[in-house]
Chain A
Amino acid sequence: MKISAYPSIAVVAILLSACSESPEQVALEQGKAIWEGTCAVCHAQGLAGSPPIGNKKMWAKRIEKGLPVLFEHAKNGFSGETGLMPPRGGNEDLTDHQVELAVKYMVSQSQ
């Protein structure tokens, strides 16, 4: 009886190992949820001159500027060549950390 239980424990351990996410993955998941709640309204398809998520052509020039610049633009707003980024996407309730998570998620999907 005891012997037959060992394989089950091993299988569970392997499954748990396979399911565990790295901190980076967890952060991306959190960023995705924030993005869906606020940023998607424009960035899902690139409304009003905004770069749509996944559009590598539009994002390349922006990603070149570096994450700190993108963070700053997302937090404080930015008037770019093609559109207007409102501070925190118009959601004043978002913390700096949440904005950064959303930006990182959008960048991860666009390079």
Chain B
Amino acid sequence: MKNTLKMTLAASSIAILTACGGDKEAGISPQQFTDALHLVMDSDRAVYTKKVVGRLTKEEKVIKASEHFMDDKALPLPAQMFRFGAETVAEKTDEFTYSLQSLWPINSQNAPVTAVEKEGLQFIVDNPGKNFYKEETLGGKNYFTAIYPDVAVAPVCASCHNDHKDSPKTDFKVGDVMGGVVIRVPLG
């Protein structure tokens, strides 16, 4: 009876270990993590752009979208909405950060700072359709940094930047990479 019980327990343990993946490594890579984060960010932004801003400003024409949305009682621009989300995440966690940056920022605070940011933003401009991934050390701590292209998909994207008084670049056109989403994850 005791032997039967022992064997049953041993078999159960093996079954549980097998079901849990045994001693295989669990988890996802930093790149899988940042790719998944970016997929959610890009999808949410596309939905806001299409279903909220586009519908209410162009189809139903009930409200405008404006950089000065508070004063104008208008909708925040998609890029602003994106940035507000990044700021809210930064208040909640240090597990990752994200930002929208550009080599030609309207707001100088959104210019690249680290060498990897500068290299990555140039890479996505030079290599359409490709992302940039690299590890970097900042303040003695290692990070995985991923940079995803941000593209002008509508004429208003390009014209808004081209016409803005603070824009250092005035010849954007549809299809251009205007900047990038920088996602940074601490390693170790």
Let me know if A84 and B153 touch, CB within 8 A. yes
- Total interface residues on B, CB under 8 Å, equals 25
Contact in complex: A41, B50 (CB < 8 Å) = no
CA distance A48 to B177 in the complex (A): 12
Across the interface, which residues of A come within 8 angstroms of B176, CB to CB? 90
Q: Which B138-155 residues have a C-beta within 8 angstroms of A?
A: 148-155
B43 at interface (Cβ–Cβ under 8 A)?
Answer: yes
Q: Which residues of the partner chain B approach A82 to less than 8 Å between Cβ atoms? A: 46-47, 50
Given A48-B49, A83-B153, CB of A90 within 8 Å of CB of B129: no
Residue numbers in A under 8 Å from B154 (CB-CB) = 84, 86
* Chain A CB within 8 A of B64 CB: no
Q: Is B136 an interface residue (CB 8 A)?
A: no
Check A91 for interface membership: any CB of B closer than 8 A.
Answer: yes
Q: How far is the CA of A26 from the CA of B20 in the complex (A)?
A: 49
B174 on the A face (CB < 8 A)? yes
Complex interface residues of chain A between 25 and 53 (CB less than 8 A to chain B): 36-38, 40-50
- Chain B interface (Cβ within 8 Å of chain A)? 42-43, 45-47, 49-50, 54, 128-131, 148-155, 173-177
A residues in contact (CB < 8 Å) with B: 36-38, 40-50, 79, 81-84, 86, 89-91
